[in-house]
A and B are shown apart, each in its own frame.
Chain A
């Protein structure tokens, strides 16, 4: 496993955590938020949540982790990759919360904003922590 595989492994873990959190939110709120609709809206396929979800998983596992390892040395809060992952995911959260909110308004918007930020932070933290652990472990054993 090299740097890229480590990042993708981090992406899988992070996406799993985030998906679980969003599902929990969906179940707790009796679908008042319709998170899958939000995700579909966000990735540009509002009428097709299945495709939207597939794109969401693809981006979370491949696209964002690759971008993360490209950017990682330049992100603040180093040297811990998990802390940098949080910064990275917080940046990702901004367009998500603006574009994905759809018709949500009023008090629900506060809850939506806070919870999606928390989910993104958990994603970024897991991504960075798993990546850092796998990659550093390999590097220390001499694989480069």
Chain B
């Protein structure tokens, strides 16, 4: 009976009732102002001597502005990729294909991987490094500010190419409402071959969107490489006089090693993508059986692909090692060994690629050597974990939101890391390969370590960037939900893998239903925490309490008031001086 009454009439009636209720209540509250009457707080946002409005953001070469652009772009991509993830978990609530059909399911997990790896994690970490690295180094800006800007502006078009067909499809959908033929606009189908693009599937699938996506990935690789070169040159040449290699902070060390990995890994991805494009369009046979064979693609791809996962996770380790000592009021335990472990991970990461290929029938002696190196990489990883624990020993733990995030990282990294040790063992990998165990293992790290470190950094540096404070209670709840949601979502996948449920399948036998529903419930918890984070960031940046004292985290008492906070303190003093002069009207009514 609901369907017979126009919705608009019902909503109007409901709203009229509400109006009547509030009108008759008689205790009408005062009118509102948008900002609670605060002065504008724009400590971190440079405003002098630059164009304003849209022109500023389109033409900027300031590292802080570009950093914010990177972070906003990466956050947008993350929300988009998270929508894919929610679709995957919604589809898997029931065993049969209840919702979208298998082709859409394939497309969704493919674009989820592309978006999250290339357009969420790398840009956001590049953005954070853009913002704070020059401050930590005592530099005015990155070494090549214009290269920095170009590197950023290559990313939006590459995202559109990779997720492509979308613009045309959106246009098609808009026009489809009208009586216009739109078939041509809907021709490009989303890519559904998996983010690893294994041949022969990726060469044999006819969809033209694959070519567009390969070009987009190549473009994003160029952007990433440019940013990495910029970081390396900056760290080598732009350090202040009193920062020798022994005084370089741990976050810059991690960005340096990460950038080194990018320089070796991403050009190789670019070359492999070009070969794949040639195979698809120009009749070459690099990956055909009569040419190099499908295994060649896997070797090339994973020689990029495995260092890539360390490119993703090293900045997260860096942020954790950087923030943890400050939040517990102690020095980082074994600073030098954390640096060595970072470099060791960087070197070893190029020697482990074939552990993705144990089941392809390669020579057992090769398998054994790759197994040995894969097991060995657990040692530097464990050094970090143990040193973090030792850093907390006898520290003064204040359970602030960023510290809660870091405790979450340390917990999930134990599960995610140790499950990786099992996978590195050839016999275990034979059993668990291509099951949900693998998905659970790497998601415990790529969800339980990487976004948590970003969220921790977003809280830790929020006052510097916006001049305001976030809502601490909401932030604590959000951090807990994110950490708990990660375990809740991905530990069931580990069990599913042990029980033998393969990955990349949109349908599954009914006996796996309960565990899948548990994982989906966890995914909804994660979605809730993402929404809470978004609300906190947006609302606090608009109307959060203005920060008056630069020592937000009580860093002065332990002598850890680092350069970026000193810079912030100067900004605040400038603002105070401007306000106390009182003649400049723009300070109170902008």
Contacts and interface: CB of A to CB of B under 8 A. Distances in A.
B539 A83 contact: yes
A17 interface: no
Given A32-B99, A108-B90, A108-B99, A94 B31 contact: no
30 contacts: A24-B83, A25-B83, A27-B169, A27-B170, A28-B83, A28-B84, A30-B100, A30-B101, A43-B6, A43-B8, A67-B15, A73-B28, A73-B30, A74-B22, A74-B28, A79-B30, A80-B35, A80-B542, A82-B34, A82-B539, A91-B15, A92-B11, A107-B99, A108-B99, A111-B99, A114-B86, A125-B538, A132-B33, A135-B34, A140-B589
B510 interface: no
B439 interface: no
A23 B177 CA distance: 12
B87 A80 contact: no
A42 interface: yes
Contact of A36 (B11, B29, B177, B543): B177
Given A28-B84, A108-B90, A81 B15 contact: no
Contacts of A114: 86, 524, 527
Q: Top 10 closest A-B pairs, CB basis?
A: A44-B6, A132-B34, A74-B22, A99-B7, A79-B32, A42-B7, A107-B93, A95-B11, A111-B90, A30-B104
Interface residues of A, number: 56
A96 interface: yes
Contacts of B98: 106-108
Interface of A: 23-30, 32, 36, 41-44, 49-50, 53, 55, 59, 67, 70-75, 78-84, 91-92, 94-96, 98-100, 102, 106-108, 110-111, 114, 118, 125, 129, 132-133, 135-136, 140
B455 to A, nearest CB: 19
Interface residues of B, number: 56
A47 B7 CA distance: 15
B18 interface: yes
B30 A80 contact: no
Contacts of A44: 6-9
Nearest to B21: A74
Contact of B14 (A82, A91, A100, A129): A91
Contacts of B22: 71, 74-75
B19 interface: yes
Given A91-B15, A99-B10, A133 B34 contact: yes
Contacts of B94: 106-107
B36 interface: yes
B178 interface: yes
Interface in B115-132: none
Contacts of B531: 118
B174 interface: yes
B282 interface: no
Contact of B173 (A27, A82, A110): A27
Interface centre among A74, A75, A100, A106, by most B CB within 10 Å?
A74
A30 B491 CA distance: 30
B166 interface: yes
Interface string B402-440: 000000000000000000000000000000000000000
B241 interface: no
A99 B2 CA distance: 6
B91 interface: yes
Interface centre among B14, B33, B98, B524, by most A CB within 10 Å?
B33
Interface centre among A32, A59, A95, by most B CB within 10 Å?
A95
Nearest to A141: B589
A132 to B, nearest CB: 3
A56 to B, nearest CB: 9
Nearest to A96: B7
